[in-house]
Chains A and B, each alone.
Chain A
Amino acid sequence: MEKIVLPEIENFHQLDVYIQNAGYEAAKSAFTQTTNQIIDTVKKSGLRGRGGAAFSAGLKWSFMPKNNDKPKYLCVNGDESEPGSFKDRQILERNPHQLIEGTIIACYAIGAKSAYIYVRGEYHKWIKLLQKALDDAYEKGFVGEKMKETFGTDFSCNIYVHKGAGAYICGEESSLMNSIEGQRGYPRVKPPFPAQNGLWGNPTTINNVETITNIPPIIKKGWEWFSAIGEPKHPGTILFGVSGHVNNPGVFELPSGTLLTDIIYKYAGGVIGGKKIKCVIPGGSSMPPLRGDKLEGVKMDAESLKAVGSAIGTGGIMVMDEDTDLVRVLARIAKFYYHESCGQCTPCREGTGWMLKILNRLVRGEGTSKDLDLLITIAKNIEGNTICALGDAAAWPVKFMIARFREEFEAVVKDEVSLEPKNKVHSMRHTANPIAPVQV
């Protein structure tokens, strides 16, 4: 089976080995094409973003303004902080040059002279590995001013490795840009979108590390080849990071559309102790969980997962066996989003804390069945009403975990306990209609 992103070649991370295996030749051929041709190839290949939203990469590139004097930027997102997601660091470790080559090609295609590869702050080791590879590439003239000579082109670009400071929210694209600018990691209100108003107010494209690493093979082998791999609507291979109660956890590069059960049983060695599966989160902790008794036939690609009420996310598959306490799992997930909410917008700032407090109460055995409905309402009140998708990421697990595993939650709540509201506020809404307008 073909490996596109993580080829099984020894020492592929070393520049000379990479070059021996036709490294940087995709870039060379890219510079002989027009930028439109490249964008077109990427569009036709069907490559979809691997950072969570599975948005068409070629389409995103085409949003970059053509007739615009402003500097343009590329950001490569290696913040990888979603629980259950640990695939990008495999690329940083095992295939950094393909990432660098993909970055150069992307820069050329969108007209960027600078690219920032933003890597999660905790990835000390992987930042060093990437920096080493980048230094080598600079030295050999594949990046920077010297690339003009190396590739015989007018184009050159610089690549910078930017270290995050330990915030999940900085993986959100606009927050990431603020972070690079030295601002607080606050997501920006969209529109305007990055292609209009990105880094320092200039047109910017943001792609995930894995997305970019797919680019050189597509350029080299053509879009027809790529689009024929896996599911037609979400083609190519996907890095599936499997964790949880499996015998052989790890990252597996498999064609999109591979059966979830195959991934768990054939590649990840099945469930520890041969137990039954209670729950699988298929795409990183923010994606809606699937019931263990409903995994038959579930294919791992964006469209198939959508059809069964979940999403591909970052392909981080978290497997939980029959003994797992889902109430505690959900409380732990909620704690993560509570901890990582940037606190900028009201529903997410307040709602994540509220949900966590209720869930902690459930864990302590002090919940009532009213709490379950309340949790779902809070989640719904956050969902879709926030500046960035972290609000949704915090809401979905709560909403879907309770909806899909209600019996697990009903089992820990008492019905007779009924707490009176402690905090009553008064309102004239029901007695009088709109009163005097409020000053600015």
Chain B
Amino acid sequence: MPKIIIDGKEIEFKPGQTVIQAARENGIEIPHFCWHPSLSVSGNCRLCLVEIEKMPKLVISCSTTATEGMVVQTQSEKVIAARNAVMEFILINHPLDCPICDEAGECKLQDYTYQHSVGESRFTEEKNHKEKRIELGPNVMFDGERCISCSRCIRFCDEIVGEKELTFIKRGDRVTITTFPGKKLENPYSMNVTDICPVGALTNRDFRFKSRVWEMAPTKTICSGCARGCNIDLWTRNNEVLRITPRQNEDVNSFWMCDNGRLNTFKHVNANDRVSGPHLRKEGQLIKCGWDEAYAKTLSELKSFAKDEIAALASSSLTVEDTYLVSKFVRSTLNMKNFDFVRKVVAGSGDAILIREDKATNAKGFELMGVEPGKSASGGGLKFDEIISHIESGRIKALILIEEDLIGWNPAFEKILSKLDFLVTISTNFDASTSFANVVFPASTYAEKNGTWINFQGRIQRIRPAVTTIEMERSLDGMSQSRWDKFGTDFDSWGKAKKNDARPTWKIISGLASAFGTKYKFTMAEEIFNEIAHTNPLFTGLDYDVVGENGVQLKTETVKKKVTI
């Protein structure tokens, strides 16, 4: 491989790489605002100027192609002077409203000001003023004064989404961002601009003013919005999820995620309608009860039906671990055949960027594990449609419904569920389906448990707990903690975080099984995973550490199952 010398250090580069790329790959960070690894080069911020031997002027490293033997200085006096100058220029008209700016704490401009600026301004004039608080679209707010005209947001819409929505208008230091006439910033990925905006010019309208960044803790996990499984950070403070941001994974979602995933996949975690503690229906009302009471009731009720009068339906978003135990329980302990998963495919809702038609997170996982959703389960039991029609005709009288709001998904199922003699649900929130339930077990959400999902590509990825429930202590699973979590005391008003009495589905199933006389030895999701890894060749050699933060592509071709997704 050819080599260049950066700051006296010889490094290899791939032909065609620019100086900034070569440097970055070798751990040398050249400061930059407008350059972004996934966007075209615009060369406008001028912060990445470097000195290259035999070149008369400083050049921008983002657009200079590395050539064999090139000698680059990123820390010479000339370069530092130019960097100071660019920082000074950017700051002269910057409002410096860090104290009230959402970006503070994760702002490139703030960080660079500490690292690359002289710390004092020679600017004694009146600053320019521009419009603030402009709604560019339903999800993004723009502050003209904070904008440093880097054009990242424009390039994102043009190049990644392919929707020309944003543009610069005016000239010189009057330049500002706006949407094209008659347009809004409302593409399904619009909020990514808030992540790549190096300053607080573009902010997430859902999250604005909710929290200082440093008071939250990010947990590396996976979006629950669809079968893509975008890698995300869940940001929590005081046991509450406040926002989601995408986490780079070039194999899955690059730097991006969709607005729906960002906005609509976490609010239920902190919602008031969370099921906390098991509930039994008494005199028409769901009343909170103890775990043992709920298990006992479920046991006695289920025993009163014949095997073919019972069915189980589970969400296609169960984790691999939950799925393993659920099917073990249903097939072995209950010795039941009528068991299927609820597919959530919305035809036409996908696109060529990230969003998948399949709204469940683990459908591919069932298929690879040998439990094909929508297909007749092994052993000749009924599949989803048949289960429904059997309930309708009264042949199936009892249903175990796992992490799925059937009625919320399709209101037509209200008629079906109302026919049942006995309905037990494992639910995160009270919903339309629980209103027909006789027993409701409180399930942990994806934000409260460990587990794995297998995305549509056959990539296994880990979810991690970001929020604690009563039964799970944060420290056990090595959760990241924010300043508040770490240093808060009982005397702080925010110290009394709300915790729900909820358990991961595998644990609820485990409890139920033991009521039926079957003991599972698992105490952690990880143990279930390890057992699967030992028994299913697809998972050979995997454990939670190996799956890691970025997931592992499974060798799906070793599975002889027909791919139906």
Contact = CB atoms under 8 A, between A and B. Distances in A.
Interface of A: 167, 169, 184, 189, 191, 338-347, 349-354, 357-358, 361, 374, 381, 384-387, 419-430, 434-435, 437-440
Contact of B57 (A342, A347, A384): A384
Contacts of A189: 41-43, 60, 63
Nearest to A342: B171
Given A381-B89, A386-B46, 15 more contacts: A191-B63, A340-B171, A343-B171, A345-B44, A347-B86, A349-B149, A350-B93, A352-B172, A354-B123, A357-B126, A420-B124, A425-B113, A429-B118, A430-B119, A439-B106
Interface string B233-270: 00000000000000000000001000000000000000
Interface in B4-43: 29, 31, 36-37, 41-43
B124 A385 contact: no
B117 A346 contact: no
Given A342-B172, A349-B175, A385-B46, A435 B128 contact: no
Given A354-B125, A423-B123, A438-B115, A387 B44 contact: yes
A242 B444 CA distance: 82
B554 interface: no
Contacts of B106: 439
B167 interface: yes
B85 interface: yes
Nearest to B148: A346
Contacts of B96: 423, 425
Contacts of B97: none
Contacts of B58: 384-385
A338 B93 CA distance: 15
Residue of B82, B114, B168, B174 contacting most chain A CB atoms (<10 Å): B114
B44 A425 contact: no
Given A343-B171, A384-B58, A429 B120 contact: no
A429 B123 contact: no
Contacts of A424: 119-121
Contacts of A386: 46
B144 to A, nearest CB: 13
8 contacts: A344-B149, A349-B172, A385-B82, A421-B124, A422-B124, A425-B120, A425-B121, A427-B114
Contacts of B53: none
B43 A428 contact: no
Contact of B114 (A350, A357, A420, A428): A428
Interface of B is mostly: loop
B92 interface: yes
Contact of A425 (B89, B91, B93, B173): B91
A349 B174 CA distance: 9
A184 B167 contact: yes
Interface of B: 29, 31, 36-37, 41-47, 49, 57-58, 60, 63, 82, 85-86, 88-93, 96, 106, 108, 111-128, 148-149, 167-168, 170-175, 196, 255
Contact of B124 (A419, A426, A429): A419
Contacts of A427: 113-114, 117-120
A338 B255 CA distance: 37
Nearest to A337: B172
A420 B124 CA distance: 8
Given A189-B43, A352-B172, A435 B93 contact: no
Contact of B121 (A344, A346, A361, A423): A423
Contacts of B37: 440
B92 A354 contact: yes
A338 B172 contact: yes
A385 B86 contact: yes
B119 A426 contact: yes
B370 to A, nearest CB: 41
A354 B124 CA distance: 10
A222 B33 CA distance: 52
A429 B117 contact: yes
A341 B115 contact: no
Contacts of A350: 89-90, 92-93, 173
B156 to A, nearest CB: 13
A354 B46 CA distance: 17
Contacts, number: 153
Nearest to A430: B119
A62 B102 CA distance: 54
A251 to B, nearest CB: 29
Contacts of B41: 189
Contact of B172 (A343, A381, A430): A343
A346 B44 contact: yes
B195 to A, nearest CB: 10
Contacts of B175: 342-344, 349
B141 to A, nearest CB: 21
Contact of B93 (A347, A353, A374, A422): A353
B117 A347 contact: no
Contacts of A422: 121, 123-124
Contact of B112 (A351, A352, A438, A440): A438
B177 to A, nearest CB: 11
A130 B119 CA distance: 55
A352 B174 CA distance: 12
A426 B110 CA distance: 9
A343 B57 contact: no
B46 A346 contact: yes
Contacts of A430: 119
B173 A349 contact: yes
Nearest to B168: A184
A351 B89 contact: yes
A437 B29 CA distance: 7
Contact of A353 (B90, B113, B128): B128
B44 to A, nearest CB: 5
A218 to B, nearest CB: 31
A422 B125 CA distance: 8
B119 A425 contact: yes
A196 to B, nearest CB: 13
Given A385-B85, A423-B127, A435 B122 contact: no
Residue of B60, B121, B171 contacting most chain A CB atoms (<10 Å): B171
Contacts of A338: 172-173
A167 B125 contact: no
A343 B174 contact: yes
Given A184-B168, A189-B43, A440-B36, A426 B113 contact: yes
B41 to A, nearest CB: 7
Contact of A345 (B31, B46, B170): B46
Given A184-B168, A338-B172, A345-B45, A434 B115 contact: yes
Given A385-B85, A426-B113, A438-B108, A339 B172 contact: yes
A191 B106 CA distance: 33
Nearest to B170: A343
Contacts of A419: 124
Residue of B91, B92, B173 contacting most chain A CB atoms (<10 Å): B173
